[in-house]
Structure 1
Amino acid sequence: MSDLFAPAALGPITLRNRVIKAATFEGRTPRAEVTDDLIEFHREVAAGGVGMTTVAYCAVAPGGRTDRHQLWMRPEVVAGLRALTDAVHVEGAAASAQIGHAGPVANAASNRAPALAPSRLFSPLGMRPMHVPDEAEIRALVTAHAEAARLAEQAGFDAVEIHFGHNYLVSSFLSPLLNRRTDRYGGSTLNRARLAREIACAVGEAVGGRLAVTAKLNMEDGVRGGLTVPEALQVACRLEDDGALDALTLTAGSSLLNPMLLFHGDAPRREFAKTLPGPARWGMRVVGPVFLKEYPYREAYLLDRARQFRRELTMPLALLGGITNLDTMTTARAEGFEFVAMARALLREPDLLHRIRSDAETRSVCIHCNQCMPTIYSRTRCIYRPDRSPRPIGADREDL
């Protein structure tokens, strides 16, 4: 326990411990603006004892959001984000901004902007074809990531996490299933990794060693023809060689095709269907068993895959997935992972870390039902935890 809760270096910054609140889209930014509700969400987690909390999702462009009420990085939100980072710092924790572009996961209808994909795909959310960016547009996306990192620095963040997972834009470029390009951004694994490497280097250069720069990287997509562990290892090795990243958080699954690989546990198909408009609700009932597969929950369920990355890489790694109790955190440290990342357990108990420090026998009461998942667009929360906060404007929107 003393090692887990001792200060730890993450690039140019020092965290008070090795536990990171993983990114979970908060659903608390109606009109794509920072709210007191969002600030309190992260302040409470910081007060609960984590070393760093991650604000998600900070899109690099308005069309890069999963819906138009999601936050996107622009000068107008810097003051609100500064209030958030100040509140987190008062509680003794660091703050990270997760930046990225949702790509094929973006809701084109809600954003009123085309979703992007590496190759021609049809958007089931926007009910229209996705736009395939040319090389000039790709360069603009790289620049947008760098500018988002600069704005994060102005807002007082200690770190930025670049989203390279879950078949968001960069992850879709990594996928041989989704990326059928014939230019230098398609074909071989190294070509498909080009966008990830360019963005990582651009973000690293933008913040100049003043902020920690991390990335959330898929170890595999979990779909036939998608990114595999051996390919992801090649990508990770190149990212390490480039030297722009201070750590990787290892993840898996596809928000587009197989989201439950990331979560494990119960698949809340009926609850998800209720959040959707009529036709989409019917569609979810039809494809739900295929789209929302069930993977039995177990502690550290991504560890077997992550071990392969730990053997090949020397850079710091954060283990994600089923990290809820002290013994699991201790196992992760013993296996060589510098950090652990938690999410759902902290939705149920924001003060879980403090209680574990006080009593090593403390067990998380999260039951891995995943009923929190359908709440992400109305206000992310554990449905079993009393919540007396006011609901934000825009909750339960029909356009989602």
Structure 2
Amino acid sequence: MLTGRHILLIVGGGIAAYKSLDLIRRLRERGVTVTPVLTRAGAEFVTPLSVSSLAGRKVYTDLWDLTDEAEMGHIQLSRVADLIVVAPATADLMSKMAMGRADDLAATLLLATDTPVLIAPAMNVRMWEHAATRRNLATLTADGIGVVGPNEGGMACGEYGPGRMAEPLEIVAAIEARLGSGPLTGRHVLVTSGPTHEPIDPVRYIANRSSGAQGAAIASAARAAGARVSFVTGPATVPPPTGVDVIRVETAAEMLRAVEAALPADAAVFAAAVADWHVEGAGDTKMKKRPGEVPQIRLAENPDILRRIAGLDAGRPPLVVGFAAETENVEENAAAKRLRKGCDWILANDVSADTGIMGGSENAVTLIAQDGVERWPRAGKDAVARRLVDRIAAHLATTA
């Protein structure tokens, strides 16, 4: 989607500047020309040499460089790109943009352009939550500037909260969405992700080892392909992608209600690892441990979300995709599950302990459909997600 595109990347001064090096690499992998601009503060965190080496192009740093002005000029530099990306967008840069200041090269480029702009904020949580930053953000979004992130998590300063710059692949997805239509533009894709937590009492629950990484990657890839994405997620260990409608749930029953409320959809991908059972009569107070006594827990079956949606007479998505996490006879069990659930496709994967797939960064899946079987090589979960989304887009295009 990005081959042949030109990005002007402004790298601000913050510890997150190191992520911009990976962002450059990810963009160039996709055939993007990246022209980097490094602020004076940014050069305190990454060097012009490292940025230039990865971009394969000259780094612009100084508004008053006579050679640069003669060769390109800051006005022209700001207008030859398809998109200007500011990553990290510090509180200072956001303030300059909101006020229309032009006291350095980066600020001048941003003021002198009519090219679309996307920012990836990164700063201390207190700075992000400060009223001045909130006002600046409101001004920038009202001016039509796109925003990706920030994410929540631990920071270099030791505090925790929103303010971490979005990950490079999240920014790439936002760039893809910003630069135009993809194969799923105008489509609605529903994705479930993560585990469910079925309470035993207020402090204990039944769950599984799902991280939610694969579901999040699928939602991100669908969004990058232009889809409107409803992302129904249990309590996953990975953050949800940006640019999607996030619906957070805890239990299987809550997930079913959220899925039904999100319909209709053109495609539904059920990547969540939903608990098969819940505890009957879960306690309102903590179950106390007493010597010599083992509590008796009675389990009841949870709703089968995949089967329920695949079996709808009215409102069934044209394409329903399930997952089958197996530890033995993977393809046979998955094929039987597809028939039993009534879904169109099922992605089978071996989650035996020695594979490292459950909770890991890679996956190896087999796509089983009525018309055949496709065995995909082991790859990163982002790559698996992109391949699945490409397959979904091709299928919807031929059945429309």
TM-score (ref. length: structure 1)? 0.29
